[in-house]
Amino acid sequence: MKIKIDYKFESLNNYINKCRTNYHLANNVKQKETQLSALYFSKIPKIDKYPIQLTFYWHMKSKVADLDGRFPKNIIDGLVRAKKIPDDNVKYINKITHIYIEDKKDYLELEIL
């Protein structure tokens, strides 16, 4: 199943800078992105066959963005918060793939297999 999340997630570099600047600012980003992801995942059925594989299709306008700077932690935590998977350890998720797609807009498509 594929889920489109129409949101530009914070890059890991920006998140680290916020952590260094102000813990509360970084926590606000974490909570916002986790909750936003959970809202999108609330519309999908509960996953009951494990382990799953996640493929992140990062649609990005910029070719200078780092693919290694994509930060899926908050998104995966949203899956747990929405109660679609019990936990995010390797018992439940055994593969994570990141794919860059040049696009006119920044957003994410997440494929769950």
pTM value? 0.89
User: What is the three-state SS of 6-32?
Assistant: CCCCCCHHHHHHHHHHCHHHHHHHHHH
The predicted pLDDT at position 51 comes to 98
Q: Where are the domains of the chain?
A: 2-112
User: Is a pLDDT exceeding 80 seen at residue 99?
Assistant: yes
Q: What is the largest CA-CA distance in the chain?
A: 41
pLDDT in tens, 60-94: 987 766 766 678 999 999 999 999 999 999 999 99
Average pLDDT for residues 20-34, to the nearest whole number? Answer: 86
Query: What 8-state DSSP symbol labels residue 68?
Result: G
Cβ atoms of 69 and 109 closer than 8 Å: no
Counting every residue written for the chain, the total comes to 113
Question: Looking at the domain covering 2-112, what would its CATH class be?
Answer: alpha beta
User: Is a pLDDT exceeding 90 seen at residue 22?
Assistant: no
User: Is a pLDDT exceeding 90 seen at residue 104?
Assistant: yes
